[in-house]
Structures are given as structure tokens and as C-alpha cells.
Structure 1
Amino acid sequence: MTLEEDDKKLTPEDLTQEPELDLEPDTEDVFEEADDEPLGAAGKKALIEERNKAKRLAKQLAKYKNIDLDEYQKIQEEKQKTEEQRLKDQQQWETLSKRQNLSIKQKDQVIDELQAKVQELTKATELKDVFYAHEGLRGKSGITGKTYFDEVKQAISARTRRERDGSYTVLDTDGLEQKNDRGEPMTVDELIEQIREDQFYGHYFSPKTKNGTGFTSTRSGLDRSATNSERFEALKKKMGYQGKNKGKTIFN
């Protein structure tokens, strides 16, 4: 067959066909044996797909050609450490957040305690003013340092409740609102007057006078001209002979 005859047998498909890849020897033998048989359209398509696949793999391998595997391993370990540290930091943040929440609760508790203390001091100051307004005695003990008001403060405070608006509710011994003889809520002034007339707490107040004559009330049976300690001792002796009323006050 001449060269001219070979040229006449070339088809457009033959001119556009890609060059063959360099194949392994055993693969070449297969193709050499198959040279005598036409590949057909399906065979050519499969061959082209294999060539394209080989090219893609070659490109992918080229990306990793210059990679140092030891360096790559080191980088991966660093990434893992970084991630572990991030998780650890996140856990520490959660712990810090819990501590902050606890700190806020503790601050709220301190604020509540301070507010309660302010309420207590305010109540004590206001009740002291009422005590003195009803001629409660001034001064304090040279031994204990307590004032006359200190001796009756607990009794008055236990029978009163300061409301949010600053008003007071007088309570009975059961903690319920105390009524006066008219069936109305008792006032703090009325309570102080009751305490002033009490056989035990009365000696913490100045003696009542009648019509400005200097007449001294003897309800407690005490000589108001005596010293405080003498009056107190006399009161204790008197209460020792009270019989069934011994130690009885308006508070029990």
C-alpha cells in the first residue's frame, strides 16, 4: 500500500484524535495485539476517558510532589493542639462565666443584707424618736454602755413592723395587727404609752405628773427621786411579791 493510499483512508476523526499516552509494556502489547481490529466509537470514547482520567490524576499528584511529609505531620499536630487549647479556653470561659454569675448572686445577697440593715437602723432611729417623745429616759449604763432605749428597743421592735411606705403596723403577740379599745389599728404612740404603763418597762420613762403639781405616778410602786440603780433594785423586790402576776408584762 502506498503513502497516497494511506492518506486517502484518514478520516476527520483520525485528525482530531489525541496522541496516545506512554503505556506500560504489558499494556502496549495488548494494544499492539488489538491494532488489527478497529476500536469502534465506543472503544475510542473509553480510551479518551482513560486518558483524561490519567491527566487529572497527574495534576493532583503534582500538587503533593514537593510536600515534606514530616513537615505536614508537624503542621497537623499543631492544628490539633490549637483546637484542644481553644476547647480548653472555652471551658475556662464557661467556668469564669459561672464564677461571675455566682459573684453577681453574692453581690445581690450583700445588697439585700445592706438594705435590711438600713431598714433595721431606720426603724431603730424612728422608734427611738417616739420613745423620747414619750419621755423615755436618756443616758446609758456606766457598766454595760446600754441606754434606756436599748433596754426596751427589742420589745418595741418585736411589736411593730415597718412597711415599704415608711408607715408602721403594730402587732400583737401572735404577729397579727393589734387593735386598740376602739377596734381600730393601734398606733405606735399608743403602744409606747402601753409600754410606759407596764410594770416592768415603766421605769425606763420619766415619771408622769398630774396637772403640773409634781405628783408622781406610783403605779410601779417606785420612788422616782431615787437613783436609777435603787429604783431598779426596788422594782425587782416588788416584782418578787407579785404572786400570780410575777414577771407578767404586756408582752407575754
Structure 2
Amino acid sequence: MIWIIGEYSDRIDNADELLENFVDGYLDELPSVQLQLLTAVVKLFLRRPQKAQKLVQQVLKTTTEEVQDPDLRDRGYIYWRLLSTDPAMAKRIVLAEKPLINDSQERTEPKLLEELTSTIGSLASVYHRHASEFVGKPRHKRSSGNRSKPETRINAQDMGDTVNSTTSMDKVAVQPTTPYNPTTLKSYNSITLKPYTHTTMSACACVRSHACGWGCSVVNR
């Protein structure tokens, strides 16, 4: 009610009398009520200086000398100095027009509003935009199929058997059939061979039967 009297004091004929009733118990009110009463009296003084001159001096003096709230007391000092130095500036500040309250829901397209309602809790409802408008697209298109690992051809003619097939390197390994010493192994990429005491692998007739105990075998895992 105090805010209404101060905001429309130019339309209410007995605004000064109504505010005087509240000023009598000014110190007994809550700080929020005191702030509204102080602002209403200042607005009344800016619109009707002759009727509210005595009232505004009383409220400003009480606020700056007897009120315990520091924020309210500072507001009283600001109003007092502003009114005493530049009343025209005080009128532009205190009586400035408030911006109109616009309801953004009225300008929202029905289709977009329906989509935002169905996506409450997601970023679309926060941005008020379609998800397709802010979700980035991948830089590179995904290929339509499973990518296969690089393949190589293994020719095992030198091992006594002809292997002419295409297989992945990670599925092929040459392993010894007997215990070995790891320090004597030689690694060639992904194929590990144990040195033979024979002249060559092709000359060894026991590669397939493992008669010599040093044979190798191609293992498909």
C-alpha cells in the first residue's frame, strides 16, 4: 500500500495525509517497510514539494539519526544530498519510468513451444532454440562400414607349406614349440622367430613334424 501511495502520489489527493499515518510508527516498522516509506515520501516531495516539505525533512532526519540499519541510513543520506544539491537530477533518478514487463511466451512460436515443453531439462529448453540450431555437426563423415585393420599377405613357401591368404597381422604369430630362453629371441615386427641351428628353414625337413624340436608353426588365433 505504501508503494502504491508513493508511485501514484500525483493522482491521490490525500497522499500526504496517508503517508503521515505511517510515519508516526516509522521506527517500529521493519527495514523493508521503512525503505518503502522513505522512497514514497521522497516521491511525494518531488511531485508536490509544498505539501511534503515538512514530511520529507522529518523522515530524512529520523532515518539518518535514529535508524540502526546501515543500508537504510545510507539511502537516507543519498536522498538528502541529492535533493539539496540537484532536485532536477533527483527527479530524473527517483521518478524514472520503469520498463514494461514483457511476456516472452506470447512471442514464442507454437511449434517451438511444443518442442521446448517436450525437452524440459535439456539445453534446448534453456536456450529456447531447436536442438539442431546449436548442436554441432561432425567435421568428418563416418564411413558406412566397419574399418578393417591393415592387411598383409604372408607367403610361407619357405616353411614347407604354401600359404596364400590375406589375414591381419595381429592374428598371425610364429611361436616355438619348446621352451626357450627369452634373451636369445629376435623380434621382427609382430613375428618372433627362434634362431635355428640348421642352414636355412627351407632346408629343414622337420618343420612340419617338429622332429628337431625347433620347428615353427603358423597359428591362426
Structure 1-normalised TM-score?
Answer: 0.27
- If you compute each CA radius of gyration, which structure gives the higher value, 1 or 2? 1
**Larger % of strand: which?**
2
